[in-house]
Amino acid sequence: MARSVRAEIGARREIKVEFSGFPGESCFDEAERLKEVLKELGLWAIPVTVTPKTSSEIAREIGEEIAEKKKVLHS
Amino acid sequence: MSHISSYQADIKLQTALEQGKSVEQDPGWEILNEAVWACAEEMNLDVGHSIRDYYGRLVYCDWSLAGPAFDRGIGIRVNRDTGDVMFICDSYGGYERIAGEIKEKVIQNYIALCVTRALSSLNYEVEVEEVKHPVEGKKVLVKGVL
């Protein structure tokens, strides 16, 4: 599964970042890397909440991936 | 595992200062300039370097944004010693809403530009999309795929 980061930037300085497809705990390392690069650019991202995805959410992501792969094989 | 994090953002241009350079050499300076011009285009405002207070007195700043409906303008000033970014405006007389709107738009643009650049520098393929929300206003979605 491809690793992806989806950031939603709201109108009141809030940023929601979703990390998908990272194995193990590596999504937390990636979040730290992103935070460091942002700080170098002058953007200080102060963490408000961190919510690990549930196993069903992860399964759904993987499931979608499998479904997409199947579709490609049949076409 | 994967997760969702939420953050509150603040702008502070310290990278160049920490390297003994001037704040104008900070990577954030150019990004802030870009964010100001994007806001000007979006809200049909003029970019300058001064605002006026209630009495018409001129106040100089690094960037200013003003328009026909808001001729006093809102200014942005970066502290040369600390890198703190300040928005200055004499909003007396009913200009609080428009001044706040411009300020938040500049900050939103700044955040979007930073996230886009940060993901690119981490080798992501990046796509940007803007979504208008009826209650929460404009949202910017930045998606990066490795």
Task: Give, rounded to a whole angstrom, the gap between the first and last alpha carbons of chain B.
Answer: 16
Separation between Cα atoms, residue B105 and residue A45, nearest integer Å: 17
Per-residue b or e along A10-41, where b marks 16 or more CB atoms closer than 10 Å to that residue's CB: bbebbbbbbbbbbeeeebbebbeebbebbbbb
ipTM: 0.90
Q: Chain A residue closest to B85 (CA)?
A: A42
Instruction: Taking residues A14-41, report their average pLDDT.
Output: 93
Which member of A7, A12, A58 has the closest CB to residue B115? A7
Structure tokens at A42: 């002058």
| Cβ A36 vs Cβ A50: under 8 Å | no
Structure tokens at A65: 């991936």
pLDDT over 60 at A65, yes or no: no
Instruction: Taking residues A19-48, report their average pLDDT.
Output: 92
Task: Give the side-chain half-sphere CA count within 13 A for B50.
Answer: 7
Separation between Cα atoms, residue A44 and residue B141, nearest integer Å: 18
The whole-angstrom distance between B78's CA and the closest CA on chain A is 12
Separation between Cα atoms, residue A19 and residue A33, nearest integer Å: 13
pLDDT in tens, chain B (146 residues): 688 999 989 999 999 999 999 999 999 999 999 999 999 999 999 999 999 999 999 999 999 999 998 989 999 999 999 999 999 999 888 889 999 999 999 999 999 999 999 999 999 999 999 998 888 788 999 999 99
| Cβ B32 vs Cβ A40: under 8 Å | no
The whole-angstrom distance between B28's CA and the closest CA on chain A is 5
Q: What pLDDT shows up at residue B1?
A: 61
| Cβ B53 vs Cβ B72: under 8 Å | yes
Which member of A5, A16, A52 has the closest CB to residue B6? A16
Contacting residues for B80 by C-beta, under 8 A, at least 6 apart: B22, B23
- For the entire predicted model, the pTM comes to 0.89
B residues 113-132 closer than 8 Å to A (CB): 114-115, 117-119, 121-122, 124
The whole-angstrom distance between B27's CA and the closest CA on chain A is 6
Q: Chain A residue closest to B12 (CA)?
A: A42
The candidate with the shortest Cα–Cα distance to B92, out of B125, B68, B56, B126, is: B56
